[in-house]
Structure 1
């Protein structure tokens, strides 16, 4: 069948080996997915130079792929759930049309160095590959790589460093013969790098090989100290280290970072950014930080914040809020969750809390903001709530559902927003005096999950009071469930 272009043998449950396709050199589409008795792919499949799509998904007994492949036209290959496939073929020649390689839940132990011939690869997915132990240095040949997914690879010990010695195999028909030892490859440029749940991954020196990345997820890994080279990664906005239970220290982070999740990092003792803020070395906080169950870290921060204060039990709130010029949100454990007594407005919480304040004529927009605080009980696994801020009855700020996990310890959620960042584009900023109304609302009610909440006006030192409280109250008794729901 010389002119055959498409062959669909999907769900042929008794097929044990793929046919010899050497007589069909024009084949473009081959579907052998969910052939649950298939154990071997005939070597002729590896020589199909016009093959565009190869689907082997769900071939649960498949063990053998062709040893060497010349798939110069291949765009997609699907090996998902081929749990008995332990090796990927050696690649002959450039495969410039393949942009994604998805090997989800396979038995792959390692990728060959010739994987570098996928020169236009954008997406590399190796999630749930329980046998994967290593990756080749040739991944630095991928100039267009955007996403690397290595979630739940419990045997992955290391990610290769850029300088590791490795040479791509050369073939007579290959023009692309550069390797890690023959020339210095460019750094990786990624949108996201995810290695969540890699319990043996402990070395993060490979981060020096990342030129820039928007998101890095190393949650659940075995790292102890994050490599200092992370500070050189450009454009990094989100860093997830949650569940890294051996992590002790986080060094300087790039100034572009917006979100840091270190929840359940029970051994964490120091975050350089927070230490610098408390020591007045810098004032810019990370926009969103989750320190849930980081009890050891918070003990150290409290001691640092109050080293010159004899008052026992002083909190972190004041030093974190002082000199801040941009919004931030932070969640952290406390010995006894409560709103600081110096907050100008606070009360016990029951489903819906509202307070109104009025600015005075001497109100200044610059360097003035609102601090919002919610104290959460440890008895429940998590609590959720939303926050609205209105100025002259125009909604200027909305914080969608906030989740606070408080299963082990009491926690406090603290949010700060400058007045200058509240105002909506297209609306004229009102002149004082004006009214500001804040609503905190918990629709999905969980008994005693939120203990109390509060609001405080943050002003530069020595400023005169420029706002006055009109009223603050729980309005739950005045609203039906339908009216509460409408607030969402």
Structure 2
């Protein structure tokens, strides 16, 4: 009976048989004003009144529903009363966007309660002290309320795992009136793993944090000056737009994500842990130095996407850019394990890139005889600046490999394959930046090892000798220019990561300027002419820059 036009379920004088009733779902019945006496529905387990915006009160005999476990009342915008009559059996209580002004003390007597959602209860200003132990409650959501302080007895929530005072996904609401300090009893929540305190705009200091905490979100806590000691268990720290923080405490050795974007007063970081997989450090910062950044051990290496972004960190000193950051990305890429995206301010291709050129968007690469069996893992480097950029924009750059060789008859052979990579910028890049990225073999690299059957279909029965005669490739990049964003590519570098690829002759290849058009003749060779009526397309779906795309191997 979802989205019904009912105003009243039934007349209480009607002799209805309710014993077998287990579930009532009247969600989004906007005209429903009253819930009848349900005391005879002794086996009722689920009540869903979500979106019943005309409902103002719960019936007084709710406490007789001894088997009720799920009570959905979110988006009942006019509901104010009746919570004091809830049955003790309730496990999940959803009150988001109701008009309740306070929680009755009886809420803390619901000994089976597991989840309590009070988000966006705009009239809720206070939570009473917790009178007894709540041994099953694992999650409380309080974001979007007017609550000024957490109860000092919060440690009575002995099994609490998630305390959410702010939620950023689609909403920008916190507890703006939260007091300057949180209760010290917070550290006694030994099972707390996720603490979201974002946009508590009055919060100046954190209490001691529990030792098992895994995620701490303090985004947009503008007056927060110090983080204190961080627990060694912490995996993720979101501190975006904490504009008063001037320094970070020692970071846990197991930290995997650090977001310090727009921390305007943060000037230095003593040490970044080797375990980091995501580092967002974008826009309007004063960061000048990172003293050290450890390398992960072989045991610490994980097959995870790595994203390290220093967009518009224009104050970083030369040692941080050219030694700490550059050495770290070289080590991570050389490990050949991870999927890496690395952005930082600068105008030079790192020296370890085997092939590089300035002022050109094409590079020639020598291929080993068995390139088609190795596949190709390349690290790609661009020096670029954006024109007409905007915040959180998508940048779309296409690339193309052109393979040159000879057919078995000695004729010229041209074999093309192309694709695109897409990245989302966290800021407007209006100065030169270096972008380095690579992809692991599990996504096919830029193009993965090709099966014998595929090679036979593309090149015919002499595929082995034909492929072995392909000794050179030209790599070309160009901006797709979508959404009005222009990516001006100033320099290009490419570095093979496979064993078996030859290092280039420095004098010859690092200054190789042969144009893309020289490898892209419009005249068909004999192989192309003989197979023009039998086109074949090998497609592979891979993940690039966080997006899934399709790369095609084309026989033209």
Aligned CA-pair RMSD: 4.8
Task: State the Cα distance separating 1:122 from its structure 2 match.
Answer: 2.5
Match of 1:452 in 2: 490
Change (3 A) 1:34 1:399: same
Counterpart of 1:200 in structure 2 is 223
1:308-331 deviation line (CA, Å, top 9, x unaligned): xxxxxxx94999369933326443
Which residue matches 1:116? 155
Cα displacement string for residues 464-485 of structure 1 (whole angstroms, at most 9, x for unaligned residues): 838845955379x999xxx9x9
Aligned to 2:266: 247
**Secondary structure of 1:115's aligned partner:** helix
Please, which of 60, 75, 80 is the counterpart of residue 34 of structure 1?
Answer: 75
Show the counterpart of 1:138: 185
Report if the CA contact (8 A) 1:378-1:410 is conserved: no
Task: Give the conservation status (yes or no) of the 8 Å contact 1:197–1:219.
Answer: yes
Structure 1: tracts of 5 or more residues without a match: 163-185, 278-285, 306-314
CA contact (8 A) 1:35 1:58 kept: yes
Q: Which ranges in structure 2 are unaligned for 5 or more consecutive residues?
A: 1-38, 167-172, 296-304, 334-339, 405-414, 451-466, 498-502, 523-536, 538-548
The answer to whether residue 473 in structure 2 is matched with residue 473 in structure 1 is no
Q: Does 1:65 align with 2:103?
A: yes
SS of the residue 1:189 aligns to = coil
Against the structure 1 CA distance between its residues 116 and 395, is the aligned structure 2 distance closer, same or farther, given a 3 Å change threshold? farther
User: How much has 1:80 moved relative to structure 2?
Assistant: 1.6
Change (3 A) 1:325 1:247: closer
> What is the total number of aligned residue pairs between the two structures?
418
Task: Measure, in 2, the Cα distance between the counterparts of 1:420 and 1:104.
Answer: 42
CA drift of 1:411 comes to 2.7
Residue 312 of structure 2, aligned match among 280, 285, 293: 293
Match in the other structure for 1:88 = 127
Q: Give the C-alpha shift of residue 387 in structure 1.
A: 6.9
- SS of corresponding position for 1:250: strand
Match of 1:296, SS? coil
Distance 1:340 1:253 in 2: 21
Distance 1:293 1:97 in 2: 46
Shift of 1:240: 0.2
Taking a change above 3 Å as real, the CA distance of residues 199 and 486 of structure 1, as seen in their structure-2 partners, is: same
Assess, with a 3 A threshold, how the Cα gap between structure 1 residues 383 and 81 changes in structure 2: closer, same or farther. closer
Q: 2:200 aligns with which of 150, 153, 156?
A: 153
Contact 1:358 1:433 in 2 (8 A): no
**2:252 is equivalent to residue 228 of structure 1:** no
What secondary structure, in the 3-state scheme, does the structure 2 residue paired with 1:375 have? strand
The DSSP-based 3-state class of the residue aligned with 2:163 is strand
Match of 1:384 in 2: 395
Match of 1:326, SS state, is: helix
Contact 1:204-1:223 at 8 Å conserved across structures: no
What is the rounded CA distance, in whole Å, between the counterparts of 2:226 and 2:521 in structure 1? 57
Point out the more displaced range, 412-421 or 449-458. Answer: 412-421
> Is the 1:77–1:101 contact (alpha carbons within 8 Å) kept by the matching residues of 2?
yes
Q: Name the CA distance, whole Å, in 1 between partners of 2:473 and 2:139.
A: 51
Report the equivalent of 2:64. Answer: 24
- What TM-score, normalized by structure 1, do the two folds share? 0.68
**Which among 227, 232, 239 is matched to residue 218 of structure 1?**
239
Whether the aligned pair in 2 keeps the contact of 1:249 and 1:268 (CA below 8 Å) is yes
Q: For residues 464 and 258 of structure 1, do their structure 2 counterparts lie closer, same or farther at Cα, with a shift above 3 Å needed?
A: same
Query: Could you give the per-residue CA deviations for residues 65-122 of structure 1, whole angstroms, max 9, x where no partner exists?
Result: 1135211111222212101211223223332333221222111222213322333323
Match of 1:173 in 2: none
Match in the other structure for 1:178: none
Secondary structure at the aligned position of 1:90 is classed as coil
Which among 187, 190, 203 is matched to residue 211 of structure 2? 187
Alignment partners' CA distance in 2, 1:139 and 1:94:
15
SS in 2 for 1:272: strand
Instruction: Measure, in 2, the Cα distance between the counterparts of 1:449 and 1:423.
Output: 26
